[in-house]
Amino acid sequence: MVEPVVGAAEEVPEEDVPGAPGTKIRWLLSPGVGAPNFSMRLFSIAPGGRIPEHSHDWEHEIYVLSGRGVITISGRRHEVGPGTYVLIPPNLPHGYEQVGPEELRFLCLIPNRGAGGR
Amino acid sequence: MVEPVVGAAEEVPEEDVPGAPGTKIRWLLSPGVGAPNFSMRLFSIAPGGRIPEHSHDWEHEIYVLSGRGVITISGRRHEVGPGTYVLIPPNLPHGYEQVGPEELRFLCLIPNRGAGGR
pLDDT at A1 over 80: no
pTM beyond 0.90: the answer is yes
Confidence check on the interface: ipTM exceeds 0.85, yes or no: yes
pLDDT at A86: 98
For chain B, the structural domain boundaries read: 20-103
The answer to whether A13 faces chain B, any CB pair under 8 Å, is no
Tens digit of pLDDT for each residue in A50-102?
Answer: 999 999 999 999 999 999 999 999 999 999 999 999 999 999 999 999 999 99
Largest Cα–Cα distance in chain B?
45
Q: Which residues of B touch A65 (CB under 8 A)?
A: 65
List the single residue in B with minimal CA-CA distance to A27.
B85
Contacts of residue B81, defined as CB under 8 A and 6 or more positions apart, other chains included, come to B64, B67, B68, B69
Q: Are A83 and B9 inside 8 Å of each other by CB?
A: yes
Q: Which residues pair with A46 in a beta bridge?
A: none
R_g of chain B computed on alpha carbons: 14
Mutating which of A63, A80, A108 best tests the B interface, going by the most B Cβ atoms within 10 A? A63
Please report, for residues A86, B39, B102, the alpha-carbon distance to residue B6 in angstroms, rounded to integers and kept in the order given.
5, 14, 28
Q: If DSSP codes are grouped into helix, strand and coil, which group holds residue B15?
A: strand
CA–CA distance, A110 with B100 (Å, rounded to integer)? 33
Domain boundaries B20-103, corresponding CATH code: 2.60.120.10
From the centroid of its chain, how far is CA B95? 11
